[in-house]
């Protein structure tokens, strides 16, 4: 469920017409619904309500400070994968003891930053990382709570570029090596073992891979406890999918996910951490764009819009589908025709969809790309010297720009010409 609906023939974000926002900030822009973000967090929180747990929002999905502050006010922790994300979480008011540090390539500088600022735990991904973390923590005179991310070699049945739990993926330590790795960590004075971490991928639409992975985590928990380790926290990652196509069957609900967690791990007495990102933010955002030209080609028509692959790269990168709808609601019975919807960038890959059935749209008409709240703005770039587009947050009948569009002067002034090239 989201809060983007037609009212009096105009698509609204909560109680604000998208035409009003477009008139104020120009297109293209991202718009997020506060009500949808908070609802999706609460649904996940309630799914584990009878267990000791913390929902740590995976902020790589959407790391705008306003979004982070909104979720932090609901009680969310944060899952971060870089020093920059850690600083964003802190800037949004999230205390260190609610921030989990994940990621395969943590640097010494990032470790120092996070250890000085406070952290809930490190999710270790390799033996070299654990030795470096122990060294850095020892130099700072602190002890660090750690889990080990184990790779359970489970096929998440998702896109190859967002699968993380198979043996050929770069993430984690093979689960078969886990007992030996935990034994080695126990020898390191600055590291405190507290639990296990697992994450098998993103956009999962089937609960069975979760069940399979959690059963392996259960078995590992029992073995590690028998080896004398304290396992009191299980970080289960995120990855539950969202319905990008409204016509398809909906993915499993958080309540169903919670049931799998209880059935496989509920009697172990462990605190449960989960790291949803896409499910919280994905359907809470739209990308709104204008038609620049309607172009007739050889055997097909094109809608050339002012959004491009630098604004929303998912279709080019993942062949991802986004439902696309006119902002002005077509009259009942309006005929549709197939069109290619493309951006203005000089790349054939700058294509959002091919032969999509759309009602008639003309130059200047507005369209909205649904399910664009996750991995949209955070993956955008200034390719072709196109400014990053605004992000807008709506709450009820109010809206605010939470990241403005930079001017061309601001973009140009970031570049520096060396003295030997100056006139």
Say how far apart CA 77 and CA 53 lie, in whole Å.
10
Is 346 an annotated catalytic residue? yes
Residue 203 is predicted with a pLDDT of: 81
Average pLDDT, the chain: 93
Closest CA to 303 of 289, 314, 320, 315: 289
pLDDT (0 to 100) of residue 1: 64
pLDDT at position 158 over 70? no
| pLDDT of res. 153 | 78
* 358-362 mean pLDDT: 95
Q: Give the chain as a 3 state SS string.
A: CCCEEEECCEEEECCEEHHHHHHHHCCCEEEEEHHHHHHHHHHHHHHCCCCCEEEEEECCCCCCHHHHHHHHHCCCEEEECCHHHHHHHHHCCCCHHHEEECCCCCCHHHHHHHHHHCCCEEEECCHHHHHHHHHHHHHHCCCEEEEEEEECCCCCCCCHHHECCCCCCCCCEEHHHHHHHHHHHCCCCCEEEEEEECCCECCECCCHHHHHHHHHHHHHHHHHHHCCCCCCEEECCCCECCCCCCCCCCCCCHHHHHHHHHHHHCCCCCEEEECCCHHHHHHHEEEEEEEEEEEECCCCEEEEECCCCCCCCHHHHHCCCCCEEECECCCCCCCCEEEEEECCCCCCCCEEEEEEEECCCCCCCEEEECCCCCCCHHHCCCHHHCCCCCEEEEECCEEEEEECCCCHHHHHHCCCCCHHHCC
CA dihedral angle for residue 210, residue 55, residue 265, residue 257, rounded to 10 degrees: -40
Q: Which of 160, 184, 163, 183 is nearest to 172 (CA)?
A: 163
- For the chain, give every domain's residue range: 4-31+282-413, 34-281
Task: Give the relative orientation of helices 254-265 and 34-47 as an angle to the nearest 10 degrees.
Answer: 20
Tell me the per-residue pLDDT of 22-35, one tens digit each, with 9 for 90 and over: 999 999 999 999 99
Q: What is the pLDDT of residues 290-324, one digit of tens each?
A: 999 999 988 899 999 999 999 999 999 989 999 99
How confident is the model at residue 114, as a pLDDT? Answer: 98
Are residues 70 and 84 in contact, defined by beta-carbon separation less than 8 angstroms? no
Domain 4-31+282-413: top CATH class: mainly beta
Average pLDDT over residues 116-141: 97
Among candidate residues 346, 417, 421, 422, the one labeled active-site is 346
Candidates 3.30.930.10, 2.40.30.170, 3.20.20.10, 3.40.50.300; CATH matching 34-281: 3.20.20.10
What average pLDDT does range 268-272 have in this prediction?
97
Q: Looking at the DSSP assignment, which residues form a beta bridge with residue 148?
A: 124, 196
In angstroms, what CA-CA distances link 158 with 78, 204, 213, 240, 241? Answer: 24, 6, 15, 11, 9
Q: Is the model's pLDDT at 201 over the cut of 90? A: no
Q: What is the mean pLDDT of residues 276-281?
A: 95
354-378 mean pLDDT: 97
Give the model's pLDDT for residue 255: 93
Please tell me the distance from the alpha carbon of residue 357 to that of residue 58, in angstroms, as a whole number: 34
């Amino acid at each position: 469920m989201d809060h983007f609906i037609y009212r009096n023939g105009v698509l609204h974000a909560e109680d604000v017409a998208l035409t009003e926002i477009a008139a104020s900030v120009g297109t293209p822009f991202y718009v997020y619904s506060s009500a949808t973000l908070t609802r999706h967090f609460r649904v996940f929180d309630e799914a584990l309500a009878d267990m000791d747990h913390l929902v740590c929002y995976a902020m790589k999905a959407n790391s705008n400070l306003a979004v982070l502050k909104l979720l932090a006010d609901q009680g969310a922790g944060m899952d971060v994968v870089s020093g920059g994300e850690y600083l964003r979480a802190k800037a949004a008011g999230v205390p260190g003891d609610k921030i989990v540090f994940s990621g395969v390539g943590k640097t010494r500088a990032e470790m120092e930053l996070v250890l000085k600022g406070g952290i809930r735990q490190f999710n270790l991904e390799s033996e070299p990382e654990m030795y470096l973390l122990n060294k850095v923590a020892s130099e700072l005179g602190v002890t660090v709570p750690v889990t080990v991310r184990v790779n359970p070699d489970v096929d998440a049945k998702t896109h190859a570029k967002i699968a993380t739990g198979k043996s050929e993926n770069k993430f984690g330590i093979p689960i078969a090596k886990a007992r030996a790795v935990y034994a080695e960590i126990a020898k390191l004075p600055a590291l405190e073992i507290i639990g296990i971490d697992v994450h098998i991928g993103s956009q999962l639409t089937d609960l069975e891979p979760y069940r399979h992975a959690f059963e392996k985590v259960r078995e590992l928990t029992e073995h590690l406890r028998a080896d004398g380790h304290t396992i009191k926290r299980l970080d289960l990652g995120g990855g539950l999918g969202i319905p990008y196509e409204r016509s398809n069957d909906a993915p499993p609900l958080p309540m169903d996910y919670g049931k799998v967690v209880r059935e496989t791990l509920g009697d172990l007495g462990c605190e449960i951490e989960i790291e949803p990102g896409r499910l919280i933010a994905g359907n809470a955002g739209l990308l709104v764009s204008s038609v620049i030209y309607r172009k007739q080609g050889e055997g097909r028509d094109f809608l050339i819009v002012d959004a491009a692959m630098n604004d929303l790269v998912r279709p080019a990168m993942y062949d991802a589908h986004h439902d696309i709808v006119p902002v002005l609601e077509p009259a009942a019975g309006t005929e549709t025709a197939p069109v290619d919807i493309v951006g203005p960038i000089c790349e054939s890959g700058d294509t959002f969809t091919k032969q999509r059935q759309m009602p008639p749209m003309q130059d200047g008409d507005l369209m909205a790309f649904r399910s664009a709240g996750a991995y949209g703005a955070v993956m955008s770039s200034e390719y072709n010297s196109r400014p990053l587009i605004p992000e807008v947050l709506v709450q009820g009948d109010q809206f605010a720009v939470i990241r403005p569009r930079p001017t061309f002067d601001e973009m140009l002034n970031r570049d520096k010409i060396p003295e030997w090239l100056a006139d």
